[in-house]
Chain A
Amino acid sequence: MSAVTTPARQASGGVNVKIVNRIVIYGLLALFALFYLMPLFVMLVTSFKTMDEIQNGNMLSLPKAPTFEPWLKAWGETCVGLTCAGIKGYFWNSIKMVVPAVLISTMLGALNGYVLTKWRFRGATLVFGLMLFACFIPFQSVLLPMATILGSLGRFGVTLQNTVGTSFGLGNSTVNLVFVHVVYGIGFTTLFFRNYYEAFPTELVKAAQVDGASFFQIFRRIMLPNSMPIFVVTVIYQFTNIWNDFLFASAYAGTGDAMPMTVALNNVVNTSTGVVEYNVNMAAAMIAALPTLLVYVLAGRYFVRGLMAGAVKG
């Protein structure tokens, strides 16, 4: 604990200085709270206003006649590119992409972390280092080859479709994105689990070995039941990252029906046909933000822990 208590101020300053100090501190903190809350507040109130009120009213004022209309419109009617069926389809696209990608990458990360800490072999540190570095690369440096490969797989999928009758998901944008997010997510998930299992008592693994448990039995019966915290952290981290991704989404599913939410939102906002419906845009942005905000509100502690674990490496 470090909270620096201003040492019971010697006679010099007295009580007044202390009170002024506190007022200044609280004032500054409140001011910054406003800075952080403002955009969300504006977004939220705007999404409940009519266009009329937006054009004639004040950005910061509360809606005079709150209406759900913009939310309904954003969900079910607004135009994304040329299709005008709302963002609901894209919301589900994101869900369909996020859930498998998170689960697969987390499971792989758990297994990798288990091997890298409890079954070390020569070169394990190098393997880990190589996987870890993959977390940091600018994805631009793999964007094009991945596009090429996904393109070829897509063509192969069409061939399969024509000959065997099923493409096995090859060429499906959602499947592609799941694959991409797993590939570029295992670095992080492995890092999380490795660091967690590094501190996990190795004696438990030894005891289980003496008890006759096998590699997978130890993982399933000893490691997994004791990994709840890191599971939550990893799932939240991956969920937030993949849900919020825009680069891969726009590169590999930038058009058509398979777009994830972020791309769709960007399209909604940048659709320049007709009058720009700011309230609908804001509602759409809120809908796109809700899942991650919800996770943040419900499990903020784990969210922060994930960010920290992702930041303090090694």
Chain B
Amino acid sequence: MSTVATSQIKLTPEHARPRASVRSRLQEALPKIVLAPSFAITVVFVYGFILWTIYLSFTNSKTFPSYAITGGRAYQRLWNWTFDTDPPSSWYTSITNMGIFGFLYIAICLALGLFLAILLDQKIRGEGVLRPIYLYPMALSFIVTGVAWKWFLDPGLGLEQTLHQWGWTSFHFDWIKNKDFVIYTVVIAGVWQASGFIMAMFLAGLRGIDGEIMKAAQIDGATTFQLYRRIVIPLLRPIFLSAFIVLAHLAIKSYDLVVALTSGGPGGSAWLPSNFMYEYTFKRNEMAVGSASAVIMLMTIVAIIVPYLYSELREKSR
């Protein structure tokens, strides 16, 4: 049995007692003392640094940080670049790529992950072999993934050449060298890496569904297709949400894959905002602009994550 109190055990006293010795008071504060360094580190190196970055984005920092506030010029420039489509500015390319990559990466991973999970959930012999095969790319670094796919998609070496050798000489696949299509190769490699994990999430969700609900639906005469469409998939809603959060956050953070797979693509045509930030900050000596782009990335994540975390933590503490 539990009361309101036992679910929020409070072992440290609410008020310091005069009789308590220094030693026992130290004992009481011990948990907080233990937690303090980690919390302090987080406050300084995460939140402090975020504020620092925001600050820098309002300065005129170039190669080195300068601490004189010069207003939102960096943002002004980013805003102007947003409409610089001919020729496309690096920023325009980055955010358009983000849109394309983010949408396709998330949508395909979700669809493929769910599809594979449903297939695997059909009492498959050899599930124990197939599951790890689908999932192992998640263990690889983006750099390795990039190297592998770079080779595989290279027109002179990989898939195209292989098909030519097999006699399909008209086959042409040079997206990785094409500035208009290079971002789609990032989608392919990204999906390859993450979809197996999304599959595992959905599979866990499917296995968690009460078998009696399924039996009831079958007795009600639902076909397998109806069963999934009307009962199972709606029940997987929380998994969709979790998977979406994971993917969105992976997508916005994606940096390594673009570097390793495309080296930024022809003329930076494969850049994502993360690459833009890195290049402007460390290579092009436009620190303020780089910081401003980092702030925009952060805000995007905040808009997605904070409501999610808030609702999760609230639920938990109830």
Contact = CB atoms under 8 A, between A and B. Distances in A.
A115 B34 contact: yes
Interface string B37-71: 11101110111111011001000000001000000
* Most chain A CB neighbours (cut-off 10 Å) among B10, B122, B315: B122
Nearest to B148: A39
Contacts of B301: 136-138
Interface stretch (B85-93, B138-146, B168-176, B178-186): B138-146
B137 to A, nearest CB: 6
Nearest to B125: A26
Contacts of A244: 140-143
B111 interface: no
Contacts, number: 291
Contacts of A304: 135, 200
Interface string B235-275: 00000001101100100110110011001000000000010
A146 B34 CA distance: 24
A140 to B, nearest CB: 4
Contact of B313 (A134, A138, A183, A314): A314
Q: How large is the interface on A (under 10, 10 to 19, 20 to 34, 35 or more residues)?
A: 35 or more
Contact of B38 (A35, A112, A240, A285): A112
Contacts of B130: 29, 33
Q: Is the interface of A mostly helix, strand, loop or mixed?
A: helix
Contact of B122 (A4, A119, A130, A209): A4
B70 to A, nearest CB: 17
Contacts of A187: 42
Interface residues of B, number: 117
A289 B141 contact: yes
21 contacts: A2-B209, A4-B122, A4-B227, A29-B120, A33-B133, A39-B152, A40-B136, A46-B151, A116-B35, A120-B10, A127-B35, A130-B39, A136-B309, A140-B277, A141-B53, A144-B65, A184-B45, A247-B255, A269-B260, A282-B148, A296-B139
Given A29-B120, A134-B46, 11 more contacts: A2-B207, A29-B130, A39-B148, A39-B192, A121-B10, A121-B31, A146-B45, A184-B45, A285-B147, A308-B201, A314-B315
